[in-house]
Amino acid sequence: MKKAYVFPGQGSQFVGMGKDLYEQHETARQLFDRANEILGFNITEIMFSGTEEELKQTRVTQPAIFLHSVAQAAVAQDFNPDMVAGHSLGEFSALVASKVLSFEDGLRLVYKRAMAMQAACEANPSTMAAILGLDDAKVEEVCASIEGEVVVAANYNCPGQLVISGSNKGIEIACEKMKEAGAKRALPLPVGGAFHSPLMKPAEEELAKAIKETTFSQGICPIYQNVDAQPHTDPEEIKQNLISQLTAPVRWTQSVQQMVADGATHFVECGPGKVLQGLVKKIERTAEVSSVE
């Protein structure tokens, strides 16, 4: 019986997140205070008592979720993972929790990633949409059929739930075509841009430089990375996959399937919300899921 710790991505934030950790644990408190110093603004104030609007800004959301997740792992009882994985942004939390990255380096990379993604979104207005009730191959086929616009499969969340990413016009056309192809729903998402698509290339280039200059160590367990859904322990491979992650799809379904194939029976979500527990159950019904204690 192996235990996998999984770390959520953007969208799991909520006002008040992390306040209990801050109040109850000295270790968490030190991480929160250090984050305020590194970022140069009071992120804890926004997390604990800001507005949803403030928390939704990419430059706040990404470090906030990362900080909450890493602090939770740091104070968890018996944190001894056999394997880890993170959904998109969550991959950075997983790398810090499994000792591949230091907290400070992880936070700096996450903030740089957030700012680079924000800039890419502003330079090239784009969006994402959730496609429900179509199989992956059909979604990929529809995306490939749209000419003259960028539209790609971006997040393989669980069977029958795939998020597509691309230009505003491309996503609009794709949503119509997905419904015609039999999708139960095709819902545009309230996001600032086309994450995990070729439109994030400028952000990827900027982040690549920072990742290359950062020290990655041998972790305490394998990390199953979004890009190929395979376990990795080699720091150089992990770096390369992390750079590719911004323009490549998040293969979450495949990652969970691979972890199960490699012996994972219990998935523990570490971070705000319970989104990943729901996805894991849809991918593998027999898996045991819980939040970190």
Catalytic positions are 88, 196
CA dist 19 and 184 (Å) reads: 38
* Residues 207 and 109: beta-carbon distance below 8 Å: yes
H helices then E strands: how many in the chain?
A: 13, 10
Q: Which residues contact 3 (CB under 8 A, 6 or more apart)?
A: 80, 81, 82, 264, 265, 266, 267, 268
CA dist 177 and 186 (Å) reads: 9
With 0-12 CB in 10 A as exposed, 13-18 as middle and 19+ as buried, what is 237?
middle
Phi, psi angles (nearest 5°) of residue 77? -70, 135
Distance set, CA 279 to CA 183, 224, 283 (Å): 19, 16, 6
Output the six-digit token pair for 217: 């160590």
CA dist 271 and 120 (Å) reads: 26
Look at the alpha carbons of 240, 154, 90, 52 in this order and tell me if their dihedral is positive or negative: positive
Q: How many CA atoms lie within 13 A of 84 on its CB side?
A: 29
Look at the alpha carbons of 290, 248, 101, 112 in this order and tell me if their dihedral is positive or negative: negative
* Residues 70 and 31: beta-carbon distance below 8 Å: yes
Q: Which residues contact 38 (CB under 8 A, 6 or more apart)?
A: 104, 107, 108, 111
